[in-house]
Amino acid sequence: MGAVQVGGPHRARVMTEEIARHDALDVAAVDGFDALGVHAVVTTRSGGVSIGPYASLNLGGQVGDDPNSVAENRARLAAQMGVAPDALVIANQVHGAAVAVVRRGDEPGDVDVLLTTDPSIALCVLVADCVPAVLVDPIAGVLAVAHAGWRGVAAATMRAAIEGARTLGAEPARCYAYLGPCISPRGYEVGEEVARAFAAVGCGDDVVADGPGRYRADLAAACRRQLLACGVPTRHVTTSSSSTDGGQLFFSDRARRPCGRFAIASRLEGRS
Q: Tell me the pLDDT band of 16, cut-offs 50, 70 and 90.
A: low
| pLDDT (0 to 100) of residue 174 | 96
Residues 55-112 have pLDDT tens digits of 999 999 999 999 999 999 999 999 999 999 999 999 999 999 999 999 999 999 999 9
Residue in 111, 116, 114 with CA at minimum distance from that of residue 98: 111
Q: Residue-wise over 30-46: b if at least 16 C-beta within 10 A, else e?
A: bbbbeebbbbbbbbbbe
Q: According to the per-residue pLDDT averaged within each range, which of 6-10, 92-96, 236-240 is highest?
A: 92-96
Q: How confident is the model at residue 15 (pLDDT cuts 50, 70, 90)?
A: low
- Does the pLDDT value for residue 271 go beyond 60? no
Provide the H-helix boundaries in the chain. 67-81, 150-154, 157-167, 192-200, 219-229
Q: What is the pLDDT of residues 177-209, one digit of tens each?
A: 999 999 999 999 999 999 999 999 999 999 999
Residue 28 pLDDT: 83
3-state secondary structure of 149: coil
- Residue 139 one-letter amino acid: I
What pLDDT band is residue 32 in, cutting at 50, 70 and 90? confident
User: pTM to 2 decimals?
Assistant: 0.93
pLDDT tens track for 142-187: 999 999 999 999 999 999 999 999 999 999 999 999 999 999 999 9
Checking if the pLDDT of 216 tops 70, the result is yes
